[in-house]
Structure 1
Amino acid sequence: MALGQLGDMYKLQKEARKMQKELKSKKVTGLSKNEDVEVVIDGTQEVLEIGISDAYMTIDKKNDLTKALKQALKDAQKKLQKEMTKSMDIDSIRNMIGG
């Protein structure tokens, strides 16, 4: 492997670490349709927090809670995708992949 290629690999790794750090720092909150359930995720889509209204704390509300959790998670993921697209710098991505 040529010395130039090693330098390029180092730059790529450095950029990847920087992007990972930026992803971890982003946080978005998703809500269920009735806003009784909230899910907070980071840029890597790791679930950080889940908030559930007391209205779901009965056994007969289990199916409703499951549905609301899915809605809140989907909402958070959609918001994250929009946020990431907004902040994406096409030129830096091209530079990273050598384009």
Structure 2
Amino acid sequence: MFGKAKDLYAMQKEAREMQKQMKQLRVQGKSEDELVVISMNGVQEIENIEIHDELMDLSEKNQLVKSLKQAWKDAQKNLQKEMMKDFDMDKLKGMLGG
């Protein structure tokens, strides 16, 4: 039983290290006209949203950027909840030999 727990701990440690590395990765996506640019890290968290000034005035632009970030975070949270529904505690017990 302890051997499996040790293996699980090692896997968790490796996963945390991998996530740390992925968080350092930066990528950008651009609209075809290059008027909107989204920068995100390797764990799909939005770092920045750039909207070209010609698309809207500054007050609308700032609110839109804020709303887009909030919506993205909410979608990520909801996805995590759905994924956790599929994770069964019995599977974890089986991995630990219980």
Instruction: Give unmatched runs, 5+ long, in structure 2.
Output: 58-63, 69-98
Counterpart for residue 24 of structure 1: 23
Deviations 1:10-67 (A, max 9, x none): 1111111011101111110111001111000111111110011111015xxxxxx9xx
Q: CA RMSD in A?
A: 2.6
Q: Which residues of structure 1 form unaligned runs of 5+?
A: 59-64, 70-99
How many residue pairs get matched?
63
Read off the aligned partner of 1:18 and give its amino acid letter: E
Identical columns (%): 44
Aligned residue identity for 1:21: K
TM-score normalised to structure 1 length: 0.55
**Secondary structure at 2:43's aligned position in 1?**
coil
Moved over 4 A (4+): none
